[in-house]
Amino acid sequence: MTPDSRRYHITTFGCQMNKADSERMAGVLENMGFQWSDTPDDANLILYNTCTIRDNAEQKVYSYLGRQAKRKHAEPDLTLVVAGCVAQQEGDDLLRRVPEVDLVMGPQHANRLEDLLDQVAAGQQIVATEPIHIVEDITKPRRDSTVTAWVNVIYGCNERCTYCVVPGVRGVEQSRTPEAIRNEMVQLGEQGFKEVTLLGQNIDAYGRDLPGVTPEGRHQHNLTDLLYFVHDVPGIERIRFATSHPRYFTERLIQACCELPKVCEHFHIPFQSGDNDVLKAMSRGYTQEKYRRIIDRIRDLMPDASISADAIVGFPGETEAQFENTLKLVEEIEFDQLNTAAYSPRPRTPAALWENQLSEEVKADRLQRLNHLVGLKAGVRSQRYANRIEEVLVEDQNPKDPTQVMGRTRGNRLTFFPGNIEELRGRIVAVKVTEVRSFSLTGQPLSALTPV
Ligand code: SF4
């Protein structure tokens, strides 16, 4: 395989963490001389970055892999890589199931891809799922956008939510140093990026594994102090962070978000259930009352803040009355966006072994009722944008209408308006909202607020 014929394709399943890991692995491959191929069929290295948060996500990768495994019999030079959470969960079992795979690598090994591929090139079949300390990347990610960027701040999760596979597949919490995070943001600012999303499975846990305690007994390194530490990075106009955990969400953080102009008024705080007994069974570590107090406090200081969340229906043992408590919370909080899912028993999670599993029919019924309510409430919540002027950071052309560009408000609302992408990409434009939909807006540009 000559260097210039080395072409790669990455298919990414799942969450923002996986998207960020795929960008890092793409950066490693391009540093090795591989070139991106828009389709897997033109590539001779195919990488699936997988998700196992629910069974259907896991099963998807096997249908994709099956086709390429057949192809490999005709093209022995084809390299097949399975990365991410299914790789970590299955390890050697995945090789037994699909022996054509060359490399199975867990999320912690993302930036070791070159070493692992060197071993594959030497004729070995590799499984890299042992827990390791994640060192800083030496190669730059190949980012999907030139305007917005993901920046990992903490890998893994030490929580033990009884339905969740993440701690088992992503390992213990490993925070990056504030200096490493700031350096990455400084480079992004120099490259013309305008917005950064700080990422962590449980971002409120940032820094608790790093040394240092303040005189008040607080972890010296924490998300709030990190926001102050990176706020003045030149060129970066907007800062977002995800995913928050109600158990650790603090008054200091809310104050900081209110005080720091670049920090966008958008909070992603999964609540999962509106019922305290279900939250207890999930080992979430907070009550619905505490969750409501957090939202109320955010809205006290930032009345227009956007609130999004995740919710699970049909958790083992959930009664109709307990499900109605979830509906009641959604009814009263009026989320801007709510990601909903029916409970899916996952390998090596406590709740999967419990007797009181609900039927698929009950789960499907509850999911449909919740989604109906979510759509209604998002529609109501969206009405506040009508005829308002919103600051929109232009990210791309509208794929459905080339006369329009698209971007998001500070509240993370997708917005479309007429414009030329070459002129407006990366600029913040004042847009008068003329049309409101449940999850997106359309408007007319007034003026560009930031220079080219
Ligand atoms: S906080 Fe809970 S739900 Fe979130 S990643 Fe950790 S274990 Fe999973």
For the chain, 452 residues long, give each residue's pLDDT as a single digit of tens: 455 579 999 999 999 999 999 999 999 999 999 999 999 999 999 999 999 988 888 888 999 999 999 999 999 999 999 999 999 999 999 999 999 999 999 999 999 999 999 999 999 999 999 999 988 887 889 999 999 999 999 999 999 999 999 999 999 999 999 999 999 999 999 999 999 999 999 999 999 999 998 888 888 899 999 999 999 999 999 999 999 999 999 999 999 999 999 999 999 999 999 999 999 999 999 999 999 999 999 999 999 999 999 999 999 999 999 999 999 999 999 999 999 999 999 999 999 999 999 999 999 999 999 999 999 999 999 999 999 999 999 999 999 999 999 999 999 999 999 999 999 999 999 999 999 999 999 999 997 777 76
Pocket test for ligand 1, best of 85, 159, 268 (most atoms within 8 A of CB): 159
Ligand 1 atom at shortest distance from the alpha carbon of 272: 3
How far away, in angstroms, is 181 Cα from ligand 1 center?
22
Assigned CATH topology for domain 3-128: Rossmann fold (3.40.50)
Classify 148-384 by CATH class: alpha beta
Give the atom of ligand 1 at the shortest distance from the alpha carbon of 243.
Answer: 4
Which residues make Cβ contacts (< 8 Å) with residue 254, sequence separation at least 6?
294, 297, 298, 301
Q: Using CA atoms, how far apart are residues 315 and 335, in angstroms rounded to an integer?
A: 21
Structure confidence at residue 2 (pLDDT) = 54
Q: What is the mean pLDDT of the chain?
A: 95
Ligand 1 centre to CA of 162 (Å) is: 9
Directed axis angle between helix 223-230 and helix 178-190, to 10°?
40
| Residue whose entry in the numeric block shows the structure tokens 């391009």 | 30
Contacts of 346 (CB under 8 A, 6+ apart): 52, 53, 54, 55, 163, 164, 165, 352
Is residue 106 within 8 Å of 169, Cβ to Cβ? Answer: yes
Say how many Å lie between the CA of residue 348 and the centre of ligand 1. Answer: 14
Report the pLDDT value the prediction gives residue 80, as an integer from 0 to 100.
98
Mutational test site, ligand 1, from 161, 172, 282, max ligand atoms within 8 Å of CB: 161
170 C-alpha to ligand 1 centroid (Å): 10
Give residue 77's pLDDT.
93
CA 161 to ligand 1 centroid distance, Å: 6
User: Looking at residue 141, what is its pLDDT?
Assistant: 92
Query: Which ligand 1 atom sits closest to the C-alpha of 164?
Result: 8
What is the distance in A from the centroid of ligand 1 to the CA of 280? 14
CA of 201 to the centre of ligand 1 (A): 7
CA distance 389 to 135: 44
Mutate to test the pocket of ligand 1, among 16, 17, 164 (most ligand atoms within 8 A of CB): 164
Residue 412 has what pLDDT? Answer: 97
- Per-residue CA distances from 343 to 93, 180, 201, 327 (Å): 25, 37, 19, 16
Nearest CA to ligand 1 atom 2: 161
Query: What is 386-448's CATH number?
Result: 2.40.50.140
Q: Which of 254, 134, 252 is nearest to 200 (CA)?
A: 134
Cis ω before 214 (30° cut-off from 0): no
Instruction: Tell me which DSSP letter residue 358 carries.
Output: P
Distance CA 7, CA 36 (A): 6
Pairing state of beta strands 154-155 and 174-175? Answer: antiparallel
Distances (CA, A) of 325 to 43, 276, 319, 343, 424: 50, 9, 10, 16, 45
Q: What residues are in contact with ligand 1 under a 6 Å CB criterion?
A: 157, 159, 161, 164, 166-167, 201-202, 245
Which is the closest atom of ligand 1 to the Cα of 167? 7
As a whole number of angstroms, the distance between CA 264 and CA 198 comes to: 12
CA distance 192 to 234: 10
Q: Which pLDDT does position 452 carry in this prediction?
A: 61
What pLDDT, on the 0 to 100 scale, is given for residue 5? Answer: 78
Q: How far is the CA of 167 from the centre of ligand 1 (A)?
A: 7
The whole-number pLDDT of residue 4 equals 56
**Is 352 in a helix, a strand, or coil?**
helix
Sheet holding 337-342, edge to edge: 266-268, 306-313, 337-342
pLDDT tens readout for residues 166-190: 999 999 999 999 999 999 999 999 9
Helix (H) or strand (E) holding 429: strand 428-436
- What span, in angstroms and rounded, lies between the C-alpha atoms of 179 and 153? 11
Instruction: Quickly list H helices, 383-448.
Output: 421-424
Distance 291 CA to ligand 1 centre (A): 16
- pLDDT given at position 95: 96
Going from the Cα of 180 to the center of ligand 1, the distance in angstroms, rounded, reads 24
Same CATH topology for 3-128 and 386-448?
Answer: no
Q: Domain map of the chain by residue range?
A: 3-128, 148-384, 386-448
- By three-state DSSP, how is residue 438 classified? coil
Instruction: Return phi, psi of residue 242, to 5°.
Output: -165, 150
Reported as type and span, the H/E element at residue 428 is: strand 428-436
Q: How many whole angstroms from 265 Cα to the centroid of ligand 1?
A: 23
Ligand 1: which of 89, 166, 291 to mutate, most ligand atoms within 8 Å of CB? 166
The rounded Å distance from CA 247 to ligand 1 centre is 11
| Report field, pTM of the whole predicted structure over 0.85 | yes
- The encoded tokens of residue 90 equal 């299955």
The pick from 157, 172, 286 for probing ligand 1's pocket by mutation, whose C-beta has the most ligand atoms within 8 angstroms, reads: 157
Strand partners, 10: 47
Distance CA(92)–CA(95), nearest Å, equals 5
Listed residue (380, 379, 404, 378) closest to 392, CA to CA:
404
Query: What's residue 214's pLDDT?
Result: 84
- Ligand 1 atom with least separation from CA of 158: 6
Q: Of ligand 1's atoms, which has the minimum distance to the CA of residue 160?
A: 7
* Cα–Cα distance list, 338 to 251, 311, 434 (Å): 23, 7, 24
Distance (Å) from CA 338 to ligand 1 centroid: 17
202 Cα nearest atom in ligand 1: 1
Task: Give the ligand 1 atom nearest the CA of 157.
Answer: 6
